[in-house]
Structure 1
Amino acid sequence: MAIGLRHNKHSAKKTASRLRRQIRVRKKINGTPDRPRLVVTKSSKHLFVQVIDDVAGKTLVSASTMEADLRGASDNKTDKAKTVGGLIADRAKAAGIEAVVFDRAGNKYHGRIAALADAARENGLGF
């Protein structure tokens, strides 16, 4: 029982720290029509990416690992993140978006987040 309590306290601290980082970063960056915000939301299994125009309050483009063709893939999570990064870059370019502001939502720039960002840059999205 004591182990479970320790784990819950630890995960609560990690979540609170991530939310503090998210708020701190969100104060400084903002998505405009010229450079919308590319925000990454991460769960334990999936990754969700949106390109948002904060002035209009609209999601312009989105991609995630929940899509049918990626959901059935047997790749590991990092490979799926690379695929989603390529997808979001292609969809953004098709919508006429060349440059974005990257919002990692308080997550560390490491692992899946870094793989997604690198793949988006390689496919022509500027940030």
Structure 2
Amino acid sequence: MIFEERMNPLGIEPDRFTVATDEQGRLLGFGQLEPKDGCFELRSMVVDASHRRQGIGRKVLRRLLEEAAGQEVVMTTITSRIPFYAAEGFERLQLKDVPRFLLFEVVAGTAVARIAAGEELVVLRRRADR
């Protein structure tokens, strides 16, 4: 699923995954939280293309946010996905506010996002007090 979706394969840690499966145990979607400098980075969120728009991604995201309760969560994504995350309290960060550990990914990922998805890479944050 990672390569099919042209996701960044770096930092994938299956032990940290929250997964969604169907009754037969088939993988429908997943996401992970990576601990970083006093916050979490939300990474590798994806739902199988044939199962999108059924609430699976929202359930995975909410479960991950429960795990991160009381902690700030940051992430990179593309502009078309902002509404999905904004509905759960994420807001877009300006470049000057991007956490230091994400700066390289933002710089490198900006070109890749434009080529792979034809969109801008953005950084979103969900504050700890949500």
TM-score (normalizing by structure 2): 0.29
More strand by share: 2
Task: Using CA pairs under 8 Å that are at least 6 residues apart, name the structure with larger relative contact order, 1 or 2.
Answer: 1
